[in-house]
Structure formats: C-alpha cells, structure tokens
Amino acid sequence: MSIAALETIVPAVEPSRDRILKAAATLGILGSGAESAPRTLALLCDSHADGAEIATLISRQPSMYARVLRVANSAYYGHPRSITTMERALLLLGRDAVRGIAAATCFDRAMVRSSTGTVAIDMAAVARHSLATAAAAEALAAIAHRPMAPEAFIGGLLHNLGIAVQVHLDPRGINAMILANRNGAACGIRALESGHAVAGHEQCLAVVFEAWQMPDALVAVAGHHHAPMNAPEPHRDLTALVNLGATLGLAIGPGYPLEPTPVARDLPAMHWLGLTHEHLDTVAAQLPARVAALGTALFDA
C-alpha cells in the first residue's frame, strides 16, 4: 500500500486521553503515587530536588533501590561491591546516572508487561533499539556541545515507550502495521499509524509523560521525535538529538517489526544542531560497543 493510500485511511475511533492513560495503567507505568518509579524519575529531572529526598524516595521502592545499587557496583562504573547505601550511590554516580537507572526501571517494567501473545512484536528488539537510541543521542549531545546529554539519554531510552502503551490500547492496529511492513508498505511509522492505529506512539508517550509531570522538553521529545523540527523551538535541540539517535540506532540494527529497516538522516535536524555526516558516522562506529556495555550495566548487572 502506498503512503498516500495509507494516509487517506482514518481510524474509526479517536482515543481519548483517558483511554491512553487506562492502557498505561494496565502496564503498571502510570505510577501517579508519590512513591512510584515515574514520580522518582520526574523528581530526578527537577534540578531543584533535594538529594536526601531523592534517596529516601528510591529507598522506599525495593526494585529500584536494588537496581541502583546493583548498577552502582557493576564493573561499568568501576566500584565493584563498594557501594551499600543510596546516599553513597548518589554521591559517587551523580544524579544523572541515577536518572538513567530510574528510566531503565520504568522502561523495563513496561517492556515486560507489554510482551503478549496477541501482538506479533518482539519487545526485546524494541528495547535494544531504545538503548541504542539513548546511547547515540547522549554521544551526539556531547559532540554538538549541548548541555543536555542526560536528558538526551532518558528521552532516547523512553522514546518508544508509547509502543508498549499501543500494544494494550490497540493490538489490532499494531498487528496491521506489522503486516503492512511485511507486505512491503515501505513508509514511515507515522504513515503506518495514520492508516492503521487509533493513536500514534508519540501521542501515547506524550500523554504518559504529562501524567508523570515530566519536564516540557521531554514531553516535546515524546510528541515530536519523528518530526523534530515541529517541536517547540526551545525544545528542538533535545528532540533533534533523540531523532538522530534513533536513526543511528536503526542503522546499526537490528530493527524491530514496526521499523524493520534504517531510515534517512534528518538533514534539517543535523543542520539545526550543527552536526555533519562525519559526526554521525563517528558515533555509529562506536555505538555497538557502547550499547553492549550499557546493556550489561543497566539490565544484566
């Protein structure tokens, strides 16, 4: 089916914000409680939050507490079995690293709970691509001299979390998109969604991020990472970084059923950030090793 044909099909039902939130709640990622993982992540994104408050909040969440200490004591950070308290973990790792671990906790929970026999999608492949996007976006931020590497990592890691929400909101639509790809639709995920899904994954994630009370910049990433130049100008840097990070993640492969092949680099986004093809090639060359190391630290430590 051509892109034009896909774009003429309008889904029968436009989902309300409440339906998206209900699907997110089914995944267990809505987390509106004061001691939830999303609340902790939002607090970590608040530059004015007190370190003692953060340590206390994490300590009340056994799974996140265990993961922070496990990662802190991994070989990746070079402190094998020397960190035993959350206060010391925050001191030695820094808030940015702990933010990444909190994001990984939210992400991991959603990926596990969205794995279902009703949808023909390998969520492990989505997870691998998301980690590659995070690593690439973080590296590109450093090259572009944008002081937002931690936000780029979190935005990249969570940019496909909306797919997990889609799985529960609209499994039929997800399967139709996968089938269209297998039949050679040869169009982007936005075009596929416009023809087959009741809501785009960007819309789903933006609704969840707003519910989490995430910073506006990350909400912009959620809603515009496939069209970064449409993001509000104050947040365009971060959105462009995540977009290009996702492009590099697909380039090193493997892809996943909704985006099985590499996509073209967004030249306006590159120009906006002052990045060249050589910059992106450098990051791409280092990306497989970086992803392997991060995967071990965040998910297998």
- Please tell me the predicted confidence (pLDDT) of residue 2: 35
- Please tell me the predicted confidence (pLDDT) of residue 232: 97
- Please tell me the predicted confidence (pLDDT) of residue 13: 46
- Please tell me the predicted confidence (pLDDT) of residue 125: 87
Identify whether the C-beta of residue 15 lies closer than 8 Å to the C-beta of residue 169: yes
- Please tell me the predicted confidence (pLDDT) of residue 245: 98
- Please tell me the predicted confidence (pLDDT) of residue 116: 59
pTM for the predicted model, two decimal places: 0.85
Write the DSSP symbol of residue 179. H
Q: Which two tokens stand for residue 62?
A: 């056994």
The H or E element containing residue 39 is helix 37-44
Q: Whose CA is closest to 299, among 136, 63, 90? A: 63
Maximum Cα interatomic distance, the chain, rounded to a whole number of Å: 59
Q: Residue 94 — φ and ψ, nearest 5°?
A: 90, 160
Q: Whose CA is closest to 94, among 76, 73, 72? A: 72
- Give the span between the Cα atoms of 292 and 296, in whole angstroms: 6
- Please tell me the predicted confidence (pLDDT) of residue 11: 42
- Please tell me the predicted confidence (pLDDT) of residue 57: 79
- Give the span between the Cα atoms of 224 and 211, in whole angstroms: 17
Identify whether the C-beta of residue 226 lies closer than 8 Å to the C-beta of residue 243: yes
Select from 1.10.3210.10, 3.40.1410.10, 1.10.357.10, 1.10.150.240 the CATH code of 3-30+120-300: 1.10.3210.10
- Give the span between the Cα atoms of 26 and 29, in whole angstroms: 8
Residues 6+ apart with CB under 8 A from 230: 224
Sign of CA dihedral 22, 177, 1, 205: positive
Q: Whose CA is closest to 118, among 190, 180, 166? A: 166
* Per-run averaged pLDDT (10 residues), the chain, 301 residues: 36 68 82 64 77 80 83 73 81 79 77 66 86 95 93 92 90 91 86 92 93 90 97 97 97 89 96 98 96 82 51
- Please tell me the predicted confidence (pLDDT) of residue 263: 93
Q: Which two tokens stand for residue 54?
A: 């953060």
